[in-house]
Structure 1
Amino acid sequence: MTKPAQLPGLPADFRFGIGTSAYQVEGAVDQGGRGSSIWDTFCSEPGRIADGSSGRVGCDHYHRLDEDIDLVGALGVDDYRFSIAWPRVFPSGRGNVNAAGLDFYDRMVDKVLEAGAKPTVTLYQWDLPQALEDDGGWLNRATVDHFADYAEIVGARLADRVEHWIPVNEPSVVTTFGYGSGEHAPGKKLMLDGAPVAHHLLLAHGRAAIALRAAGATSIGCANNHAPVWPASDDDADVGASKIFDALWNGLYVEPMLLGRYPIDLAPLLEHVVFEGDLATIRQPLDFYGVNYYTPIRIGVSDAEAPMPFEFREVVGYPVTGVGWPVVPDGLREWLIMFRARLRAAVPPIYITASGCSYSADPDADGIVDDQERIDYHAAHLTAVAEAIRMGVDVRGYFAWSLLDDFAWPLGYRGRFGFVHVDHVTQERTRKRSFDWYAELIRTIRAGND
């Protein structure tokens, strides 16, 4: 087993966390007054999910809340990140509040605190109420107003006990894969015509931040999916294509949040939806900047007749996870250092708000789940963070993804990212070796810093 002593350089106040999201774990999609979401609809369409599954049952977290938060307590993390299901609070995305939904999250916050962790709450982790999608979803600016109302209600109920708030998780993923390529819900293939979605998600982030602060929230940040973008070759065409994609994946979210502007080359895509005052609203003061990191992205120029001027190329020369994602911890160090170098004083304290890997080890005859590859993954990525810190990057914490083997979006249940194995027939939970390693790492580093 990897020893915690191999992770030097983490500051005494460095925080360790773990995360989940509502649609991936809760289940109970038609219970407790919850309305339908775009992922309920998407999963019902044949061919959308690799194994034909859905989050209808998930990890049955809705009914097993106590058991799962006990696991959070046993892990010993400082912070537990979870999301609130918008359709569980507003079944139609607007109108009357579902009291049972708010009560569920109120109880969850109390349970997390009782377990010794601080809640980090994400308001939107992709489960848009279907009724709002029927009205245009994130292509419709009115969705921003409804999101602000939702943030106001949730903030009024929970802001007195929630440590950190993240309004929108990974707007780049929603825009690119939900409305650009159609690989995620709601499954639209608009290519660059989906760019207004990015603006509306960013505007929703800003409006929610304002509403949360008015409700008493004291720490608000983001959770943006970032990656170094590598050209497929040194050829000018590949380099140019990689720069375009870097602007779409990274700059489109960094620059408005931190600098109050869009990348100059992308501004024409958005000029018809950006109103006066929008960029000031988006550029709310952030108490932390959340980076979700999984792997670098390699980009080459596409054929002239292709719908986009770039195409994804395979990242070669690295080990891969159980679902084929390259494992490149140095990519995280690279991105953090470049982020700080480019924006300097504009960068708030940073949290790694998600990083994780899928490996499919099951319990052996003795009930042991030997997932050494997951241990190695997180050890290497924490080492990369420690190296970035030594080079002057202000990284305050790391949220490992995820607590449970959950419904992993288009991967279905083939993607096992959890520190806890879940039998999706019996719902039995089994702590993996990685669970014990992470808990011991936290105890060891705390003891060494006392």
Structure 2
Amino acid sequence: MAQKLNLDNLAVSADVYRSSFPSTFTFGVATSAYLIEGGWNEGKKGPNIWDKFTHLQGKVLDGSNGDVAVDHYHRYKEDIELIGALGFTAYRFSISWSRIFPDGLGTEVNEEGIAFYNNIINSLLEKDEYYYQPFVTLYHWDLPPHLQESIGGWTNRKIVDYFGLYAEACFANFGDRVKHWITLNEPLQTSVNGHCIGIFAPGRNEKPLIEPYLVSHHQVLAHATAVSVYRSKYKVYSPYSFSFFSGTFGLLEDAPRESQGGQIGLSVDCEWAEANSEKMEDKVAAGRRIDFQLGWFLDPLFFGDYPASMRQKLGDNLPTFTPEEKEFMLQNSWDFLGINHYTSRIIAHVSNNEAESDFYKAQELERNVEWEDGEPIGDRAASDWLYIVPWGIRKTLNYVSQKYNHPSIFITENGMDDEDDGSASIHDMLDDKRRVAYFKSYLANVAEAIK
């Protein structure tokens, strides 16, 4: 019989107020370029891999795409007014690499793309009655397809060079006003869903035992490279700046500039893994599940290598870092950490699982949504993967804080979707008590984690 959690011990009051949080706690909203901008071929923007992916027949269930999305490209001022009306003080958005460098190569900056993001940033900062902190994500999955087609995208070590050039262009053009930079959003999804299962752009699943780990390897190095460029050339000015492009140190040309004084980090996603029982093998499996989510990207940046559990299960399929790369990563880890958390799972050890992909098979575990007596871990939202488990966010935050030496943390994504079957009235859909309850209960657990 599974050792079900004592939910009474985890219960917290769902009553939550602004005063439940420190005065420095920031409340904001988040978007990503492909999901909202539209204007996919306007302003001299080049295509990205999601443009290519969604335009292929059969890749998206209903055939929809992001060509228009919510038309943020033309209506960003209205959207920013809505953020202000809701009372938030931060706005996280991503920059589309293809708007800055249409071919991805970094040879010529697209000035119309620079102007578009300058307009967004200036609109956030120019209002007297409110002030928004821009949180800018450099990469939210939308790689320029020229890099995918010419070098293999994230599977090629050269991508680290190109990402460094792209990041520097953003720091140089926007860093005087942007004080919070996120290098990568959910690199796990790029690696697994993009290069193992193949349901995300670029839709690759030809080498599921190799590519996802190679892609992650290069993403970790790309993050460290962007951090190095920012810290050495922009955060605090120094006349001597060093790069780590192509695995070699080199002196960069530099010119006097004002110190930007911002912060830089990355956002990783993690569902909480709760052991199915008190059995040691289930507890170890739950820890292994978190290693394959968080540790995959954070351990190299904090400890200099991948988790031992991943090395044990993956062997030579997991790339190795050189001593120079390890030192470079440790020197350029992060100023803050972004956590994207939505849901949790019950984890049980199995030796021969029948998982849907090689990535999950390698973990030797089952991810369940019910305890052994049939009781669900929580109510399901609209998406089949999203179960409402408020205590999971508290456990996740406590785990990250304890393991990684109490980093500054921003919850960069959280929320739920609701089903629209066409039968509910517009009033009922807008009076979404279930979503309100979701946010209240999750926020109450965040407040408890802080305490």
How far did residue 114 of structure 1 move? 2.2
Distance 1:366 1:339 in 2: 40
> Does the 8 Å CA contact 1:7/1:383 hold for their aligned counterparts?
no
Indicate which of 376, 380, 389 corresponds to 1:320: 380
Distance 1:276 1:184 in 2: 33
How far did residue 178 of structure 1 move? 1.1
Indicate which of 340, 344, 352 corresponds to 1:303: 352
Distance 1:80 1:304 in 2: 41
AA at the equivalent of 1:359? D
Indicate which of 217, 225, 232 corresponds to 1:199: 217
The answer for the alignment partner of 1:291 in structure 2 is 339
How far did residue 98 of structure 1 move? 1.1
* 2:272 is the counterpart of 1:212: no
Distance 1:303 1:285 in 2: 36
Tell me how large the CA RMSD over aligned residues is: 2.5
Q: Summarize deviations over 1:136-195 as a string: whole Å, max 9, x none.
A: 111101011000000011100010101200000011121121112112111112333120
Distance 2:351 2:56 in 1: 30
The answer for the alignment partner of 2:4 in structure 1 is none
Unaligned runs of 5+ in 2: 1-12, 236-259, 371-375
How far did residue 274 of structure 1 move? 2.6
* 2:67 is the counterpart of 1:67: no
How far did residue 237 of structure 1 move? 6.2
Question: TM (normalized to structure 1)?
Answer: 0.79
How far did residue 199 of structure 1 move? 1.1
The answer for the alignment partner of 1:114 in structure 2 is 126
AA at the equivalent of 2:163? F
The answer for the alignment partner of 1:89 in structure 2 is 100
Give the number of the structure with larger relative contact order, counting CA–CA contacts within 8 Å between residues 6 or more apart: 1
* 2:250 is the counterpart of 1:250: no
How far did residue 315 of structure 1 move? 1.3
AA at the equivalent of 1:282? M
> Does the 8 Å CA contact 2:171/2:230 hold for their aligned counterparts?
yes
How far did residue 351 of structure 1 move? 1.1
The answer for the alignment partner of 2:3 in structure 1 is none
How far did residue 54 of structure 1 move? 1.0
AA at the equivalent of 1:219? Q
The farther-off stretch of 145-154 and 180-189 is: 180-189
Distance 2:178 2:366 in 1: 39
Q: Summarize deviations over 1:345-367 as a string: whole Å, max 9, x none.
A: x3311111111111145894669
* 2:415 is the counterpart of 1:347: no
Helix, strand or coil at the partner of 1:165 = strand
* 2:326 is the counterpart of 1:279: yes
* 2:145 is the counterpart of 1:130: yes
Question: TM (normalized to structure 2)?
Answer: 0.79
Structure 1 pair 50/279, CA: closer, same or farther in 2 (3 Å)?
farther
Helix, strand or coil at the partner of 1:101 = helix
How far did residue 4 of structure 1 move? 6.5
The answer for the alignment partner of 2:415 in structure 1 is 356
The farther-off stretch of 268-277 and 182-191 is: 268-277
How far did residue 299 of structure 1 move? 4.1
How far did residue 34 of structure 1 move? 1.1
> Does the 8 Å CA contact 1:289/1:348 hold for their aligned counterparts?
yes
Indicate which of 374, 393, 399 corresponds to 1:338: 399
Identity of aligned residues (%): 36
AA at the equivalent of 1:227? E
Distance 1:269 1:36 in 2: 35
Unaligned runs of 5+ in 1: 391-450
The farther-off stretch of 368-377 and 4-13 is: 4-13
Distance 2:286 2:204 in 1: 24
